[in-house]
Amino acid sequence: MSTSTQAPTPAGPDPAPRPAAAERGDSIGARALRAVLTQRITLLAVLIVVVVLSYVALDAGGYLTAPYDPDYLSASLINAVPLAMLALAELLVILSGRGGIDLSVGAIVALSGMVFGFMYGQWGWPLWLAVVATAGFGALCGALNGFLVAYIGFPALIATLATFYAFKSLAIVVNQQSPISTPPIQELYSLTRSVEIPVIGGQIPDVPLGIFTFLLPTVLIVWLLLARTTYGRRLYAVGTNDVASLWAGQPVRATRFGAYALAGLISGLVAVVTVAQFASARPDAGVSGNGMALPAITIAVLGGVAITGGIGRVAGVVLATLLIVWLNAGILLAFVGNEGSQYQLLALGVVLVAAALLNGFAGRRYGVAD
């Protein structure tokens, strides 16, 4: 419903003169405000700086239970790996438009994790083969979503709600509710250790290995896919207006199908990461508590992905993940016990609602819907 009129003369019952003035934007302050309010990347970058600086200040004042220093920030990045990857999966799906959303990613993580547990932990497959097969299995699960949504015409919310239930149930039943934690699986925990970066490693803190083995490749590939390939442009086109894309001769169904299958593939990779983190293939990984899907969608939306499709960038998602991970890391230090994890919920909720409202406000103030 948001008006996306780029023109300085807004169409509407009350033509406010302010957008026109902001368009010229002579003063630096006004221009900076405009950039922060209308460009999600700028806003997120500013927020990250604010969050980190305020924690550093709190730390200096002695209010935190442990130092909030570069080492801690770097170590907490391990939490960003699954979060950012699933948020990228949601980015692809939400971009594809027509109410695109994937509630089932957490359940795919759980089910693929069990499959990985069988292949690597019990059947003794080589690691690379097991990882590839798990990613393939995840893609298969995603393809089921894609088939239902793109070819049969199910609303995405419903199709993925149904597969969420189905995958979650299968994950629990497949090994009689028990986790797989044989020695090879337990040894995977070494994947989560921190490593020193060569050459410049002396000056900066060690970085969790998972960042290099899983997160960065995913980020890079998704970015290349969206920004540098025909498929990416097609996905934006389909998400913006699928009827127009169809008439422009684009393979709308295949494009949308691909988004869901890719989301499944990424979820399969996340399954490997979670198995390594827990040192065990747990049937309830990804669906316990609030699950993994809802935080991932939250991060994607916070990163500026429009729920209506066609708008969203990889950089926004990555920055939103950093913001939430570092915000949460600080909260853990600021509160004792499980108070911290509760305040993380509050922070996530407030940040999401505030960002969404700000989006709407900025859209009306400047006549630009981000």
Partner 1 sequence: MTTTAPPTSPRPTRRARVLPPPIAGQELVLVAVIALMWVVLALTTPAFASAGSIQPLLVATAPIALAGIGMTIVIITGGIDVSVGGMMMVCAVVTAKALVAFELALPLALGLSVAVGGLLGLVNGLLIAYGRVHAIIITFGTMNVFLFVGLQIFASRTVNGIPSTLQFFGRGVAGRTLGVPHAFVLTLLIAAIAWWYLRHTAGGRHFYAIGGDAQAARLAGIDVRGRILAAYVVTGLLVGLASCFLIAQGTSSLDQSVGNGKELAVIAAVVIGGTSIMGGRGSVLGTVLGALLVQTVTSGVTQLGWPSQLSDLFVGIFIIVAVGADLLRERARRRRLRAKGAAA
Please report, as residue ranges, which positions from 109 to 148 form the binding site for partner 1 (by CB under 8 A).
148
Rounded Cα gap, residues 358 and 344, in angstroms = 21
Residue 334 touches partner 1, criterion: CB under 8 A: no
Residue 327 touches partner 1, criterion: CB under 8 A: no
Residue 178 touches partner 1, criterion: CB under 8 A: no
Residue 246 touches partner 1, criterion: CB under 8 A: no
**Which residue in the set 16, 32, 60, 345 belongs to the binding site for partner 1 (CB under 8 A)?**
345
**Which residue in the set 35, 140, 170, 334 belongs to the binding site for partner 1 (CB under 8 A)?**
170
Please answer whether residues 33 and 365 qualify as being in contact, where contact means their C-beta atoms are separated by less than 8 angstroms: no
- Which residue type is seen at 212? F
Backbone angles phi, psi at 187, to 5 degrees: -70, -20
**Which residue in the set 5, 74, 169, 241 belongs to the binding site for partner 1 (CB under 8 A)?**
169
- Please, which residue, 37 or 273, has the CB nearer to partner 1? 37
Under 8 Å CB-to-CB from 119, ≥6 apart: which residues?
Answer: 125, 129, 130, 133, 134
Residue 240 touches partner 1, criterion: CB under 8 A: no
33-39 LR contacts (CB < 8 Å, sep 24+): 34/366, 37/358, 37/361, 37/362, 37/365, 37/366, 38/362, 38/366, 38/368, 38/370, 39/370
Residue 149 touches partner 1, criterion: CB under 8 A: no
246-253 LR contacts (CB < 8 Å, sep 24+): 252/150, 253/150, 253/151
Residue 315 touches partner 1, criterion: CB under 8 A: no
Question: Side-chain half-sphere of 294: how many Cα atoms within 13 Å?
Answer: 9
Q: Which range in 59-67, 133-141, 152-160, 316-324 contacts partner 1 by CB under 8 A?
A: 152-160
Residue 360 touches partner 1, criterion: CB under 8 A: yes
Residue 223 touches partner 1, criterion: CB under 8 A: no
- Please, which residue, 249 or 289, has the CB nearer to partner 1? 289
Rounded Cα gap, residues 63 and 70, in angstroms = 17
- Please, which residue, 58 or 358, has the CB nearer to partner 1? 358
Please answer whether residues 105 and 84 qualify as being in contact, where contact means their C-beta atoms are separated by less than 8 angstroms: no
Q: Which range in 81-89, 95-103, 134-142, 259-267 contacts partner 1 by CB under 8 A?
A: 95-103
Rounded Cα gap, residues 268 and 106, in angstroms = 10
**Which residue in the set 154, 189, 223, 231 belongs to the binding site for partner 1 (CB under 8 A)?**
154
Please answer whether residues 57 and 198 qualify as being in contact, where contact means their C-beta atoms are separated by less than 8 angstroms: no
- Please, which residue, 111 or 131, has the CB nearer to partner 1? 111
- Please, which residue, 191 or 263, has the CB nearer to partner 1? 263
DSSP state of 283: T
Please report, as residue ranges, which positions from 282 to 301 form the binding site for partner 1 (by CB under 8 A).
289-290, 294, 297-298, 301
Rounded Cα gap, residues 215 and 209, in angstroms = 10
Tokens standing for residue 86: 């699933």
CB of 348 to partner 1, least distance (A): 5
Give me the residues that bind partner 1 (CB under 8 A), please. 1-2, 99, 101, 103, 148, 152-155, 157-159, 161-170, 172-173, 176-177, 289-290, 294, 297-298, 301, 307-308, 337-338, 342-343, 345-346, 348-350, 352-353, 356-357, 359-360
